[in-house]
Amino acid sequence: MIRLLLACLLVLAPGIALAKGGDGVLNHKVAPTALDPAKAYLLFRSSTAKSGMINIEHIFLRIPTEAEVAAYRSAKEAAYAADLPKLTKKAKDGKPPAIDEYAFTYDGPVNAFAVDAGDFLEDGAMRTFLVEVPVGTYILYGVSVGGRGITTCNCLGTVKFAARAGVITEMGSLFADKVHKESPIPHLEDNLGPSMFAYGFTLGQALVPPTDALIRPVSLAALPLEIADYHAVGLFPEPGADWINRLAPVPGILGYERGRVIDLRTGKPAE
């Protein structure tokens, strides 16, 4: 089921939307005095690595609801039916592509976004972000260069977590950088080897969950907050990514064993 829903990135978001001003996503540059009871909020700190002069940004995917999936399928079926005569005429053997192979651009709500690295709550060695988002379950999906699509997806393993209404979900710290060679950014896996650069750089991402010692912005002290409850996510396809990688192992939550993604909470392969 999780693989089917993750594939909906392609159907609901053919292009990754920036968090800035799109589809219910908003970066807060000033702490709100109160939370919208119908929205969720993500709080995290992020490293500030760049690819050349362009920021490396984190991508989140919200698993779509059944209603969103149904709306997409309905729109695709209608578009396919309208194009079927033309597709049949163009087909060399008179057999048009099946609907699953039909290239379709959906103009409905986007369920994935790259967090704009320039819109942060607090600056510092690690920038602090507070992002207002639709309620749902989110996948730490990968990284983007300047929000220009999926540069590298975590197709080989990552985590998911729930973001509840009217609450700030404390995620901890996120790190991202080029990983074809050793990076000064901590916690990343730098084992791909410099020969990878012959084909273009590869980006990696790491998560350090929050601890009791983590200092949170004083401006958020009066607002409701809960710690993200992370769960491992197994392999999934993403043909739209330039490169594929995996989220670095997260102690007690996410591990790997000979290419398999392991849910360390259960000791079993992740779905």
User: pTM value?
Assistant: 0.89
> Rounded to whole angstroms, how far apart are CA atoms 219 and 251?
30
Domain total of the chain: 1
Residue at 94 is within a domain: no
Of the pLDDT bands very low, low, confident and very high (cuts 50, 70, 90), residue 1 is very low
Residue at 255 is within a domain: yes
Residue at 75 is within a domain: no
What is the tens place of the pLDDT at every residue in 53-93? 789 999 999 998 888 888 888 988 999 999 999 988 888 87
Residue 239 has what pLDDT?
76
Residue at 169 is within a domain: yes
Residue at 176 is within a domain: yes
Closest CA to 247 of 258, 237, 233, 268: 233
Residue at 87 is within a domain: no
Regarding predicted confidence, which is higher, 149 or 256? 256
> Rounded to whole angstroms, how far apart are CA atoms 153 and 144?
9
Residue at 229 is within a domain: yes
Q: Tell me the residue range of the domain where 203 lies.
A: 2-64+111-269
Write the CB contacts of 228 (distance below 8 Å, at least 6 apart in sequence): 161, 169, 170, 171, 172, 209, 210
Residue at 222 is within a domain: yes
Of the pLDDT bands very low, low, confident and very high (cuts 50, 70, 90), residue 156 is very high
Cβ atoms within 10 Å, residue 186: 11
Determine which helix (DSSP H) or strand (DSSP E) holds 71, and give its type and residue range: helix 66-90
